[in-house]
Every structure is written in C-alpha cells, then in structure tokens.
Structure 1
C-alpha cells in the first residue's frame, strides 16, 4: 500500500430540508389549521478514527466530497428525514485544518473517535411553529439552512512509541527490520526511505512497542530542504526519540546537527526523552569506538547486521517508556 500523509479536499455538507407549509385537510375538517412538519438536518461530513489504517491514501485523490441533503417536512407535523452522515475513516493521528486560515478544526487520536469537519444545515421549521393568536393560518415555512462549504487540509502525524531520527544511510531502516517484522526498503544510497515505516518490536513477557522509521533528515530540513517539513511532523507524536548515528562518522557533530534541526522546527521536541544508538559498530574491531562520543544523552553501540546490543537497546527503550508512563 502506498503511503499518503496529506489530502486537500473541498467539502459540501448537506443542506437542511425545508419546513412544510401544509394545512390539515380531512373529509369533515375542510379548513384545518397548519400541520406542516420541520425539515430534516443535512448530513455532516465526519472523520472517524480507525486503528487499522496507517495512510490517507483513500482521501488523497478525492478532490470533492458532497453529503446528502435533509428531506423536506411533511403533513401531520412529520419531520423530514435527515441526510445520512458521511463517515470518512482515517488513521489515528489525523489532523484537519481549514485551508484558507490554517485554523485547526480538530484531530483524531483514538479508535472510533469522530470529528465533524463540515456541518450539515439545520432543517427549516414547518408552519405550525408560526401559528399565533393573530395569525391562525400562516402560509409560510422556514427554508432549510445550507450545509457548510469548506476546503480542508488533512494531515497525518504517525503515532508511535519510538521515532528514529537520523541522516540518510545512518542505518535506521536496517535497525527497524532487525528489531521488528517491518520490511522497509534498504539500500546503500541516500533517501532509500521516502515514507515513514512502522514496526512492532516484541520483547519477552508479552511486552511490545511501536517504532517509526522517519525518512532521513539533512541540514536545513526545517527550511524544507531534502524531504524537509513533510516528514519532520511525524516526529511530533512519538513518545521517545531514538537518534541513530553511524559509527564511521563524526558522531558528536552529526548528533548536534540533528538536534538543531529539531530545535529549529519545534523547540519543544527536545523535551522528549532521547537516546542515541551508534549504528554500524561492527565497522570497529570488537565493537569498540576509537573514542567516547561527547554527547549529553545516554548512548549504546549497536550493529543491526550482527545483532550486537539490539536486545539491550530494546530494553533501554522499554524502560524509558515506563518512566514516561509513571510521570503521566
């Protein structure tokens, strides 16, 4: 399945049905009073969270969505049928904005959660509502209100326990494949990963957590360079950030560049718990680094190729998440 994390759609919610201006007419009651019913509500357009989805592909190519109208009111004060709400299933982590103003409409983060992104119009009142002592036979009813018309931007920010942050070719995809059942594309050239990948990491005693492989960051990614802002937003919803830097690079310098890109994009991301995994440690004899990296966070040397320290890494991440849960 292709990954899609953005959609721009024109929405038209249903119009409300018109109220009825009907009068009671029966065999022995030729001049009965008003009995017109109210119109039905126009259909809403609603996003509904679906934990089994992980892409906005179903919405990506829908440019125009129109919901059904409410039915007009009838005689004997019968209310018209409301339009059937249009439900759009979306992955957890979906956010909707008004396109013109970028005003936040809402976000969907839980299974079954519903978010109305375009409201249907109210049905008009029937003529029974307008009867009074001075107007016994109102010959008018209220028209239904128009449904909301809006252009929305829908974005997906992946929800994962751990997000992998690193440069292209740092070994993130290899690490994801070695620690989970995910099978991302892996090759020895930059930007092999063009879309985020999710994997479930299994630990003993039925423990597990979700890890997200984010496409590689480059310098000035916060300005849109490389794959830029499109993927930086996926880091926002991760509980723990796992920085991945290759052992055959200037570890401290690369870590600080990654840190600065996150700071420039959203400074509060640096408040998340962080761990450094120094990948490709098998390039050094005995997995020993020539010198200790001068970084301000815990680190562990790993090799996805040989499995070196992968179990230790998973346990460290698990313990970090348990600490977060206790603080929440």
Structure 2
C-alpha cells in the first residue's frame, strides 16, 4: 500500500510526444548538427567530353586435328575463338564528373581457339562509370542514349564474335576440313558525352548574386564564395532534408550575363544542367536593379529554350539585410510575387524553404 501511495504522489511526465497526422501537416527541413567542413578541395569538373570507343576483336578459330593412338584419321578438333569485349557506359551515383574518361576507350580482344576442342576465353567488358544524367550523342549530334537512372547502361562499342574452328565445318562429305574463321573486328564509334545535373531545383542568377552563399546556408555543400564574378565555375549540388524523409536537390549553377545564349561569359555550357530541374529559383541581387536582372534572366532562358523559360519558378531577392535591397524588394513585390531573404544572415530562409518544398511537390506531381 505504501508503494502504491508513493507512485500516486509522484507526478511523472512522459517524454513521448504524440504526432497527429492531418491534412494541415507541413514538412519541416531538418538541420544537421554536425559541423561543416572548412576545407576547399580543388576538383577538375568536366561536363562535356568527346570519346572514341573501340570494341575488342574476336579470337580466331583453330585448325587442328586430333592425334589418337592407332587412329590416324581421328578428325578435326579445333576450338572456337573467344568473343571480344564491349565498351559500356553505365550511370552511377559514385561518379560526378567525366574527368576520369579517357579519349580512347578500348576493350580487349578474345583469345584464339585451341586444339582438343578448347574454345578461347571471352574478353571482359570495359564498363565506364558516368554521372547520372549523362546524354550520349553520336558523331551526327543525335541523342542515342539518356542515362538518367542508377545502373542504366549503353553499349557504346560491341566486341566482335569469335571465329569458328575447323571442328564446326565437319560434314559427311568433308571429314578433314582445313578451314577456320577469323574473329570479327570490334565496332569503332565516336560519341559526345554531356552531363546534365539531376537536381530538383536550379539556382539561376547573375554573378555575385549570392547563389553559392545561399546553397551553403540551406545545405551542407561547400561551394567557393568570393567577392569577384564567376566564382562558381562548375555546378554544385546540395541536399535539403525534410522530416517526412523527402530530400530535395538544389543545383548552384554558374552566373548568367546578357548574351549568355550567344555563348558570352561562361555561355550556355551550364544551362543544360537546368533542363532537368523541376523548378527554378531566380535569385536577384537586391542592391543592383533586381527587376532588370529578372527580365534579363527570363530573356536568356527564352532564347536558349522556350520550355525552360516556362518552367515553374520562385523569385527571390537576396541581401535584404541592406536598406537598399529592402526598398528594392518592396518595389519588386509590387510587380512580382517575390521573397526577400538574406543568405548571409539567414533572414526569411524558413519561408524560402517552404516555397522550395511547394515547388518540388508541384514538379513531382
């Protein structure tokens, strides 16, 4: 009885929180507690490459006759040659660039056939890992493969078949054939590889608009940040994790300038990375006429690809921690539905994350 009264007198609070699921549930981004790396490693990024693929030739068939005791005419026993190896492109998450691809990728040849009906060994295939989202074009510029998922493969050059030995040509009328086949020559093809990033959201903006700073603030990516134009020379991708186990990939693309569709500045070589994005974030510098920047960006996208310009997007005015940018954000808000943020101080980033998730859900549906 004393123990029962003791437990009744204690007020125990439970640490378990009951989560109620309803239609008004809003996913929230998860913030990692682990410190970010401060090391900036130099990486050579290659997103376009011309490669020549050569398949292995097949092994020659063997001309041989069986030597048996007390049997002079035992018949032919030449084996077949082995098949040559293929050259295969395979999409994988472990590869992020084409810097490991050689200008000539050649598979090995198959072994020749042997006596006693022993066939030659088939050559192993050469599997070249490429990033997911790689486009393969032939020498005429036609798209022949789109490696847009993990494990998707494309046979770039087939190996030749092995030649048949003289055992294959044994017939009722020809008991001692002295003929065999040569191995077939492997294919030789030339392809152009293009990497298009498989990000859900793409950051579009002028140089020094704060795209890299924003990606650092939202994700654990570590793009270089510096006060000079074209700091970002290659796309960087960061992941935003939400508490409903959804991960949204954001791509920081190099800055655009007037005339980018004519190959000015860094040109159109990086606009191809935005073609696969579900939506775009137009990041405007609030200290340098954001309305003019928005018109220029939409014009460049329209000139490059009309379908890309019509993609869903969110207009974001950066650097509102400065008074000039705040005033510019109010002016932009009168004409466009824009979100004012400060990537440096973190102001209004939760509102941007909510808009980013809505943009992802709309594109995913």
What TM-score, normalized to structure 2? 0.82
Equivalent residue number for residue 20 of structure 1: 62
Q: 1:221 Cα shift? A: 0.9
- The answer to whether residue 90 in structure 2 is matched with residue 48 in structure 1 is yes
Q: Distance in 2 between matches of 1:103 and 1:29?
A: 61
Residue 81 of structure 1 deviates from its aligned partner by 0.9
1:278 alignment partner, one of 310, 317, 324? 317
Structure 2 counterpart of 1:84: 124
User: Structure 1 residues 219, 292: closer, same or farther in 2, change over 3 A?
Assistant: closer
How far off is 1:237 after superposition?
Answer: 1.8
- 1:74 is the counterpart of 2:107: no
- Indicate if the aligned counterparts of 1:252 and 1:295 stay in contact, CA closer than 8 A: no
Gaps of 5+ in 1: none
Is the CA contact (8 Å cut-off) linking 2:318 and 2:325 kept in structure 1? no
Instruction: Return the alpha-carbon distance in structure 1 between the equivalents of residues 312 and 147 of structure 2.
Output: 24
After TM superposition, the structure 1 stretch with the greater mean CA deviation from structure 2, 67-76 or 286-295, is 286-295
Task: Give the C-alpha shift of residue 293 in structure 1.
Answer: 4.5
TM-aligned CA distance change 1:104 to 1:31, over 3 Å: farther
Kindly indicate whether the alpha-carbon contact (under 8 Å) linking 1:17 and 1:143 is maintained by their aligned counterparts in 2: yes
Match of 1:114 among 136, 150, 153: 153
Question: Which sections of structure 2, spanning at least 5 residues, go unmatched?
Answer: 1-42
2:200–2:248: 8 Å Cα contact kept in structure 1? yes
Aligned twin of 2:255: 216
| Alpha-carbon distance in structure 1 between the residues aligned to 2:335 and 2:121 | 65
Alpha carbons 1:105, 1:117 under 8 Å: kept: no
CA RMSD in angstroms comes to 2.1
Among 244, 247, 271, the residue aligned to 2:283: 244
Distance 1:143 1:126 in 2: 9
Tell me how far apart the structure 2 counterparts of residues 38 and 140 of structure 1 sit (CA, whole Å).
Answer: 12
**Match of 1:317?**
356
Superposition deviation, residue 216 in structure 1: 0.4
Please give the residue correspondences for 1:134-149 in structure 2 after superposition, counting only pairs within 5 Å. 134-149=173-188
1:152 Cα deviation after fit: 2.5
- Do the aligned partners of residues 139 and 51 (structure 1) sit closer, same or farther apart at CA in structure 2, a change above 3 Å counting? same
Structure 1 consecutive aligned stretches of length 4 or more whose deviation exceeds 6 Å: none
Other structure's SS at 2:70 match: coil
Provide the aligned length of Structure 1 versus Structure 2.
Answer: 322
Quickly say closer, same or farther: Cα 1:27–1:169, change in 2 above 3 A: same
| Alignment partners' CA distance in 1, 2:184 and 2:225 | 54
Q: Which has the larger radius of gyration?
A: 2
The CA deviation at 1:286 is 9.7
Contact (CA 8 Å) 1:281, 1:301: kept in 2 or not?
yes
